Amino acid sequence: MTNGKRFQGFKVSRFRGLLFVVWVLVLVSSSFASSSLTDNTISLGYIKAGSSEVGAISWQPDFRLGMWGVGLDINIPVGNNKPEGYDTVVFRYAEFNDGMKGLRYGLLDGYTWGHGLLMKNYSSRNAGPIAQNNNQTAFKGYFNAERVGIEFFTTWSHLYGLRLTERAHQMLILGQSYISDADGVSVKNTDGTTTTYPSVSGLAIDASVPLPMNFIGYTETAALMTSGNSAIGSTIGINWGFNALAFAALFDVGYRVNGKNFVPGYFNGGYETNPINLISYEASSKEKNGYIAELNLLFSTLLQTDVIYEYYNGSDAVLNGKASAKYDKYTASAYFEQPKFTDFRSLNLEQGAIIGMTVGYDINDNMTLFAHYKKAYDPNVGQVIESQYYEVKLGF
């Protein structure tokens, strides 16, 4: 047999093997789909991340039973050049929620406590591959009673948080937050060296008071603590909300007074990929007072946007945003993260900016095409990784 025939035989054999795998997944999904408690999807896709590329077959079942839910990804790579962090079995989420108390294991995205002075828009998805893996998940829980509430979270990167809220009076809501990174963050630099940022803990207290015409006034004070050092910042602000049948809006603006060494919103969307170096920040003698403004708009199910603008003395302006839209058979979402205090480091992707988007098209009730894009600095490899993920999802 010639080499060409052997190669052709190998390709045919491999193609038949892939068809067999897909057929088995279809049969398994169909059997689960007979239960009204389960949604099932098979995804056939292609992933390219930097110089790595691989075909991807994925079974994505969602099991639901009352207040309980579990979502999995069973991934089968087609090829040997898998991207960094590509997991075979991924627990997308596991949750219990009865409205008053709940537990959830899954992604944290856009996570904010209080009024964002300590933690603003934290995300566990930004560090890692374009396709979700297990290291991007976190565990959180909450309990809400008539007057008090408790919330906590922990991540695989050893970030822990606990928050208590209390309705002390009909006109006063109090909150206390504590966040700690047990072992700091290690980031590989573009020159191959590794920087380890020290463990940082934060404590915040906040209060909010309802005002006439849907306004709410608030204040928050927070402290960042490292070994032998601490820094304090405060904010005072007001927000206004409007909610009609097909339109909702929320506007928030606050003025922040930042003590020396204090970084507002330190635990943010870029914390896992490129945290702010508090040592270099401490060396600055510039005043860092400034303001933050946020606008959130919702137009029925068609469009949702959230834009955050920040400016501090001695620093360039910062703009973060995310949006999602759905019209007829089309869906789209996008997000952008820009590092804060940009006079301390450059404004390029090598230093922490993150861009991501997804576009989808429903071919029919059971088939959807998706294109995903992400460009971000990967602290594990020390360079910017541009990733694309194209897939067709088949629902059963």
> What is the pTM for the complete model shown?
0.82
Would you call 282 helix, strand, or coil by DSSP? helix
Q: CB within 8 A of 143, min separation 6: which ones?
A: 100, 101, 149, 150, 151
Contact 338, 346 (CB under 8 A): no
Contact 392, 372 (CB under 8 A): no
Which residue reads 């491999």 in tokens? 14
Helix locations, 196-316, DSSP H: 278-282
Range of the domain at 307: 35-395
- Which of these, 254, 316, 324, lies nearest to 286 by C-alpha position? 316
> Is residue 28 situated within a structural domain?
no
Count of domains for the chain: 1
> Is residue 5 situated within a structural domain?
no
CA distance 351 to 34: 49
CA–chain centroid gap for 225, Å, is: 25
CA distance 282 to 287: 12
Q: CB within 8 A of 87, min separation 6: which ones?
A: 73, 75, 133, 134
The residue length of the chain stands at 396
Q: What is the pLDDT along the chain (396 residues), one digit of tens a residue?
A: 444 443 344 333 444 444 444 444 444 444 444 444 477 899 999 999 988 999 999 999 999 888 999 999 999 999 889 988 899 999 999 999 998 999 999 999 889 999 999 999 898 887 778 999 999 999 999 999 989 999 999 999 899 999 999 999 889 999 999 999 988 888 888 788 888 888 899 999 999 999 999 999 999 999 999 877 888 999 999 999 988 888 999 999 999 998 888 889 999 888 888 787 776 665 465 667 999 999 999 998 899 999 998 888 877 778 888 999 999 999 999 998 776 544 434 345 555 678 899 999 999 999 999 999 999 888 877 788 899 999 999 987
> Is residue 162 situated within a structural domain?
yes
CA distance 244 to 250: 12
CA distance 323 to 159: 27
> Is residue 24 situated within a structural domain?
no
Contact 360, 368 (CB under 8 A): yes
> Is residue 16 situated within a structural domain?
no
